[in-house]
Amino acid sequence: MYLHGFGKGKNMNTTAYKIASLVSAAGGRVYFVGGYVRDILLGIENKDIDIEVHGIAPEVLPEILKEVGKPVSIGKSFGIYSLEGTGIDIAMPRKEKNTGRGHKAFEIFINPFIGTLEAARRRDFTINSMMQDVLTGEIIDHFNGHSDLEKGIIRHVDDSSFCEDPLRVLRAAQFASRFKFEIAEDTKELCRLIDLSELSKERVEGELKKALLKGKKPSLFFDILRNTNQLADWFPEVRQLAGIEQNPLFHPEGDVYMHTMQVLDRACGFRSNVKVPYSFMLFALTHDFGKITTTEVINGAIHAYSHETAGVSIAEKFLKRITCEKAVLAYVRNMIPLHMRPNMIAFSKSPVKKSNHMFDLACAPADLVYFSMCDRPVFAGDTKFEGDSEFLFERLRIFEETMSRPFVSGSDLIAAGLNPGPLFSKALAYSHKLRLAGIEKEDALKQTLAFARKIK
């Protein structure tokens, strides 16, 4: 099937056009493929360009590429190259046969003469199976991907090939979250049958990261995995949140899973504001994991006392399962115990000293304020807590101004006659408390020395 209206020169890439012209002269054709074509039709900018070369022998391709730039072999035996400095990946049509579990053992068969139908059949979803001729602009759509794109449907291309790579279950979920699309029922049925346990953590994290950083509605990633019974292997803690009741006075929206998904979706609105978007989104996902072990009913009321501290170890176990990024782990470990404080301080209009102390503990103080805007409690009945982001940002400004002033340092204490040691450390910690309280350096030094003399 050909869709017209994307005339010659539309979405043209100069390097791709040069390659296509040379391939055409050699008797072949070149197509834009995969997500690049999908995003063209969605009007989304995509700098990652994938092209597929048909109709020429495998040994001819690298010679053609040398005429355009410096080819880099990504997988020579698989017929995959890139051109240095161009952002273009070049591949030849191939078939894959799974010979192991978890996409760990595949036989690859390169066949440049397989034709567009069979080349498109190996794609995961119809919306990714479309091909655009680089020279003519025509779009070849064997599996009605354009129709599914217009309807907002994610549908697998082929029953047997889809099941060969379990990652496609997670890809379906992340595409749904990125585009707010529905997944076809027959595709969901296949997803329920696939074993995800043998996937590598790197591949799982890759799809999770796309859902969290690119998703219009990140909660759909988890909703779909929950609906297809696929949370257990990689996201068991998220599954455990479902059914944990909360005090309706603060959480009329429902159980902890529902609350977490709402927080996650609100958090995606602040991705461009925060210090580390990926860590921030994982913080939003894991912030209430402590309720898994602390939720109880006391005198008829639901409580989860100390869940903000209990959740650290649970989140740590979860994160170690899916990522090797130590900085991510450190961020989430730091922020979870603090996640309730901003709204409590705003509601109580606590003194500056208390908000300064909170921000001082946070590895990303501004992120903590943005998170509080996602996690605001709602009081049922006559009182509704809207939170006060202006109040918190003003307190953040005060904290930053306070920390920019001159302060008592270790060298100041040494100059005053103190020697490094246990007493020195206690004095330095005391001076830091005075700094957070807004005490000017001269007075803080006097008070710190008096404190040191007292405890000597």
As for how many domains the chain has, the answer is: 4
What CATH number did the domain enclosing 11 receive?
3.30.460.10
262 within domain boundaries? yes
Answer yes or no: do 100 and 208 share one domain. no
Look at residues 100, 121, 153 and tell me which one is the last residue of a structural domain: 153
Answer yes or no: do 41 and 134 share one domain. yes
177 within domain boundaries? yes
The pLDDT assigned to 378 comes to 66
Answer yes or no: do 222 and 248 share one domain. no
Answer yes or no: do 247 and 385 share one domain. yes
The pLDDT assigned to 400 comes to 97
Answer yes or no: do 302 and 323 share one domain. yes
Residue in the structure block whose two tokens are 């340092």:
409
Answer yes or no: do 50 and 147 share one domain. yes
The range of the structural domain enclosing residue 120 comes to 2-153
Look at residues 131, 153, 175 and tell me which one is the last residue of a structural domain: 153
374 within domain boundaries? yes
Answer yes or no: do 346 and 368 share one domain. yes
397 within domain boundaries? no
159 within domain boundaries? no
12 within domain boundaries? yes
Look at residues 153, 187, 207 and tell me which one is the last residue of a structural domain: 153
195 within domain boundaries? yes
Query: Which regions in the chain score pLDDT beneath 70?
Result: 1-12, 75-78, 96-107, 378-387
What is the pTM assigned to this prediction?
0.90
396 within domain boundaries? no
The pLDDT assigned to 274 comes to 97
The Cβ of residue 243 has, within 10 Å, a number of other Cβ atoms equal to 9
Answer yes or no: do 282 and 306 share one domain. yes
What CATH number did the domain enclosing 227 receive?
1.10.110
Answer yes or no: do 279 and 374 share one domain. yes
Closest CA to 40 of 3, 81, 89: 3
Answer yes or no: do 11 and 114 share one domain. yes
The residues near 423 (Cβ < 8 Å, ≥ 6 apart) are 452, 455, 456
Answer yes or no: do 227 and 362 share one domain. no
Answer yes or no: do 328 and 247 share one domain. yes
The pLDDT assigned to 106 comes to 59
